[in-house]
Amino acid sequence: MKTISTRRRTSGALLGASALALTAFFSAPAHAAQDATCGVLAPGASATAQAAVDAACSQIGVWYSWGGGHAATPGASYGFYDGSDPDSLHDGERKGFDCSGLMRYAYYRATGKDLLNGTADDQFHSSQASARFSAGQGTAPLLPGDLMFWGSGHIHHVAMYLGGGQMVEAYESGTHIRVTSVRTGGDYAGAIRINGSGTPVPPPANGGTVFETWGTGVRTHRTPSVGSAVVDTFPGPTQVSVQCQQHAETVTAEGYTNDAWAKLADGSWVTNIYIKGPAWLPGIPDCGGSSTPPPSGGSKAFQTWGTGVRTHSEPNVNAGVVDYFAQPTTVNVVCQKHAQEVTAEGYTNDAWSKLTDGSWMTNIYIKGPAWLDGVATC
């Protein structure tokens, strides 16, 4: 059994002689000179949008890497296997961006603010959108810097419009960031224009903890039940002030099932499905209408870090994904074991933690030493 007493920081180079032999193939190329076809190709974009285009174009030739670009600070980072695509098997050795990671980085460089932290689906529902365009409108109303999206029900891809029928994108594993002709067929879902000032919408001034909703036509109710009277309807993503939450009616919507409801500052209720974050919101007290069972199996609570962290059905990144933590959250660890060695965020560790729902996550994303203190071996 191999024990790693502390996380060890790597220099970004692959470890071992066999890995060194592959460096020429898997290493991300140095940022190439900006492609002659990549840039602002039409007038009318804001200064912020033009700066975002320049930032995205500066990454032409860098690897697509699934999960890349979603480190604590926007920028190229090592990705990981997506669990299904053979071309993604080596994303853990490729420093680069996935599609949403590139957009996040571009607008971070343009504004100095992390406006687009999250998946392509999160970005499609972003509260930073100052304008939205349907798929049926095509590219006629678009300006350079607008974000184009694909997906039916759930958004799975995003690219940046350049003008002149061209876009820049991180397309898929095994490819490099590229300029290509726009695609408005298939499951093209429409586009958004990012707030040119880069100034976040102010939060509500009525107490509570601020969260962002997603989706369109989201209703709040008089009681935590979809059958109760409608109090308000949110036509698009907005900010809400959550006072407390409780377990109540189970709701299935948008491919998710959850029995948690959040009580807002105006006394109305909304299912947690439409609030960005884990199913049970971190740091929000129970309203007193439910009795959440304590952590089972002698588990111990820990804080995670990072964005887009996934848990798996087995202690292996190739195993099925069980849950997805868009932001840091609290997890209850039952036990830990040495299993598949993982390299991510500049750390290498073979320790995995089993959570109370039976899923597993690498200890790299749990705050603390590589082998967690006070947690039993599975």
Q: 3-state SS string over 316-366?
A: CCCCCEEEEECCCCEEEEEEEEEEEEEEECCEEEEEEEEECCCCEEEHHHE
H or E segment to which residue 228 belongs? none
Give the distance, in angstroms, between the CA of residue 121 and the centroid of all CA atoms in the same chain: 8
| CB neighbours of residue 44 within 10 Å | 12
Q: Are strands 95-97 and 63-64 parallel, antiparallel or unpaired?
A: parallel
Quick check: is 314 catalytic? no
Contacts of 214 (CB under 8 A, 6+ apart): 121, 122, 125, 237, 274, 275, 276
From 157, 221, 312, 338, active-site residue: 157
Cα separations in angstroms, 284 against 140, 206, 224, 254:
44, 16, 16, 23
Residue type, 44: G
Torsional sign, CA 110, 114, 116, 117: positive
* Active-site hit among 169, 212, 221, 338: 169
**Whole-angstrom distance, CA of residue 95 vs CA of residue 294:** 40
Active site residue 378: no
Contact 157, 188 (CB under 8 A): no
Tokens of 127: 């509260």
Radius of gyration for the alpha carbons in the chain, expressed in angstroms and rounded: 22
For 224, the token pair is 């935590």
- Active-site annotation holder among 99, 125, 212, 338: 99
Length of the chain: 378
CA distance 42 to 143: 7
Q: How far apart are CA 200 and CA 353, in angstroms?
A: 36
State yes or no: is 99 an active-site residue: yes
Per-residue pLDDT of the chain (378 residues; tens, 9 = 90+): 333 332 222 222 222 323 333 333 333 343 333 445 899 999 999 989 999 999 999 999 999 999 999 988 899 999 999 888 899 999 999 999 999 999 999 999 998 888 898 899 889 988 788 888 988 899 999 999 999 999 987 899 999 999 999 999 999 999 999 999 999 989 999 999 998 665 544 445 555 677 778 888 889 998 899 988 888 888 777 778 888 888 888 899 888 888 899 998 778 899 999 988 788 887 677 887 544 444 445 678 888 887 778 888 899 988 877 777 766 777 889 899 999 999 888 889 999 999 888 889 999 999 989 999 989 999
Q: Which residues lie closer than 8 Å to 282 by C-beta, 6 or more apart? A: 328, 329, 330
Q: What is the pLDDT of residue 292?
A: 41
DSSP label at 157? E
Which pLDDT value is given to residue 256?
85
- Predicted model pTM: 0.51
Nearest to 216 by CA among 327, 115, 117, 132: 132
* SS3 state of residue 291: coil
Return the closest-CA partner of residue 171 out of 182, 160, 157: 157
| H helix runs in 78-127, sequence order | 99-111, 120-124
Report which residue type is found at 92. G
- Distance between CA 336 and CA 14 in Å, rounded? 26
pLDDT at 312: 86
pLDDT score, position 94: 94
DSSP assigned state of 135: G
Alpha carbon distance 230, 221 (integer Å): 4
